[in-house]
Chains A and B, each alone.
Chain A
């Protein structure tokens, strides 16, 4: 049997700005041996959940700079659950105020990363979370 590859959706929800940060993370995850499904800009929560389902992803990485994380994150978690994918780990990168971090984690987000987080750390934590979820 071939080794189990970690498959990650990297998406940029919302209408704002650029996806430079998302691309940097996507490349780092690839260099760590993961298969990254890059979906690009302007993704709705529905599109992201649909991609996670069709790609049988282990994790979803969201780049959010718009400040809409408190709406987007619960919506995406809800859709994943509705699709029977409650095992999928959701990570958020971007500009997230400190006080929102514990709330996001409480909602079920697996990790929150501000600008400048070393990609090594993201890779390590993503691996650990995925391994935990697969049991």
Chain B
């Protein structure tokens, strides 16, 4: 049913169908991902996160244009995630509105995605869809998420380079701090730099950054930073999140932003962080899958009513949860 040769061959119909199977977490989708795994691990994953209205979609549009309009254009995939309504499960996904300039370019693939019900499921599905793009030969994968909750932070962790977008005029607070996502930023973007209040926003970000990265503070403000680095090699691995102003409406600041993204990639490779992150990510996936498989294995061998009986015993305070687990597991070993 899923034609993986066609996916590897870059055929869009095959890819779009595969993305649906992965998003719906079907067995066919899981099998496909297993088959495609050897073809993954090549793309640069770039997360773009921030509060609604900061200009993420407009910025993603500009970044994609930047990757396309060079001498050696890169294939770009965009995964734009927006929230589902918690009441109806439906969603209106409007990120494409800002990306009309990319239409008609066969080297760009834009997919919108709703967060749907389960939080863990979202991060799972996103990771799978990114792998599908990677296998299909997309070299740059831009993942837009609303920086709001833990699941978005999980998605951002998937990325090699995370941009946190802020904009003036969204109230006095720095939204990224409120949402607890400043910490995950590799690059900070102050978008809407054409609007009043940019200086204030940037200044607030800079002081927050210095709190979050005390070492960066020292380095930036003392002349001997270079000497310190020379005697302490591990400090070379330190990346200080830069702040870049942009106007996503017309592309100002985007070339500089692209240069920072490229520099971050170089840093990741040179410092060994890329390999470390990849290892940690795969370790987490392996751990999760192992847990799922073990639980499933246990359930498959469980006797009817075994769990219910244990539960009854817990309710009656005849067993502690700790003892119940012991008993459920030991009953199996013999």
- Which residues of A approach B to under 8 Å, CB–CB? 1-2, 4-5, 26-27, 29-40, 42-44, 46-47, 50-51, 53-56, 83-85
- A37→B20 contact, CB < 8 A: no
Chain A min CB distance to B129 (Å): 11
- A1→B26 contact, CB < 8 A: yes
The A-contacting residues of B in range 72-119, CB under 8 angstroms, are 84-85, 88-94, 96-97, 100, 103-104, 109-112, 114, 116-117
Residue of A nearest to B14 (CB): A84
- B112→A32 contact, CB < 8 A: no
Residue of B nearest to A27 (CB): B92
- A50→B88 contact, CB < 8 A: no
- B103→A50 contact, CB < 8 A: yes
With the chains together, A37 CA to B111 CA distance in Å? Answer: 10
The residues of B that contact A1 with a CB separation of less than 8 Å are: 24-27
The residues of A that contact B94 with a CB separation of less than 8 Å are: 38, 40
- B97→A40 contact, CB < 8 A: yes
With the chains together, A38 CA to B92 CA distance in Å? Answer: 7
- B97→A39 contact, CB < 8 A: yes
- B13→A84 contact, CB < 8 A: yes
The residues of A that contact B84 with a CB separation of less than 8 Å are: 35
The residues of B that contact A51 with a CB separation of less than 8 Å are: 96, 103, 110
* B244 in contact (CB, < 8 A): no
- B19→A56 contact, CB < 8 A: yes
Majority-rule SS of B interface residues: mixed
Known: A27-B92, A31-B88, A36-B90. A54 touches B111 (CB 8 A): yes
- B90→A33 contact, CB < 8 A: yes
- A38→B104 contact, CB < 8 A: no
Write out, one digit per residue, whether chain B residues 1-29 have a CB within 8 A of any chain A CB (1) or not (0).
00000000000110011011000111100
- B116→A5 contact, CB < 8 A: yes
22 A-B pairs whose Cβ atoms sit less than 8 Å apart in the complex = A2-B25, A2-B116, A2-B117, A31-B88, A33-B89, A33-B90, A35-B84, A35-B90, A36-B93, A37-B96, A38-B92, A38-B94, A39-B96, A40-B97, A47-B104, A53-B13, A54-B12, A54-B110, A55-B111, A55-B112, A84-B13, A85-B13
* B52 in contact (CB, < 8 A): no
Query: Given contacts A2-B121, A50-B103, could you give 14 more A-B pairs where the C-beta distance is less than 8 Å?
Result: A1-B25, A1-B26, A5-B24, A26-B92, A30-B85, A30-B88, A35-B84, A37-B112, A38-B93, A38-B97, A39-B100, A40-B100, A44-B103, A56-B17
The bracket for how many chain B residues form the interface is 20 to 34
With the chains together, A81 CA to B327 CA distance in Å? Answer: 60
Contact of B96 among A2, A29, A38 (CB under 8 A): A38
With the chains together, A47 CA to B104 CA distance in Å? Answer: 7
The residues of A that contact B93 with a CB separation of less than 8 Å are: 35-38
Chain A min CB distance to B3 (Å): 11
The residues of B that contact A31 with a CB separation of less than 8 Å are: 85, 88, 90
The residues of B that contact A84 with a CB separation of less than 8 Å are: 13
- A34→B97 contact, CB < 8 A: no
Residue of A nearest to B27 (CB): A1
Chain B min CB distance to A60 (Å): 13
Known: A5-B116, A50-B104, A54-B16. A30 touches B111 (CB 8 A): no
With the chains together, A35 CA to B113 CA distance in Å? Answer: 9
Residue of B nearest to A55 (CB): B112
The residues of A that contact B27 with a CB separation of less than 8 Å are: 1
Which 9 A-B pairs rank lowest in CB-CB distance, beginning with the nearest?
A: A30-B90, A40-B97, A56-B16, A56-B20, A47-B103, A33-B90, A38-B94, A84-B13, A33-B89
Chain A min CB distance to B54 (Å): 19
Chain B min CB distance to A99 (Å): 33
Chain A min CB distance to B15 (Å): 9
Residue of B nearest to A23 (CB): B92
The residues of B that contact A2 with a CB separation of less than 8 Å are: 24-25, 116-117, 121
Known: A2-B121, A40-B96, A40-B97. A53 touches B12 (CB 8 A): yes
- A30→B92 contact, CB < 8 A: yes
The residues of A that contact B92 with a CB separation of less than 8 Å are: 26-27, 30, 36, 38
The residues of A that contact B24 with a CB separation of less than 8 Å are: 1-2, 4-5
The residues of B that contact A32 with a CB separation of less than 8 Å are: 88, 90
Residue of A nearest to B85 (CB): A30
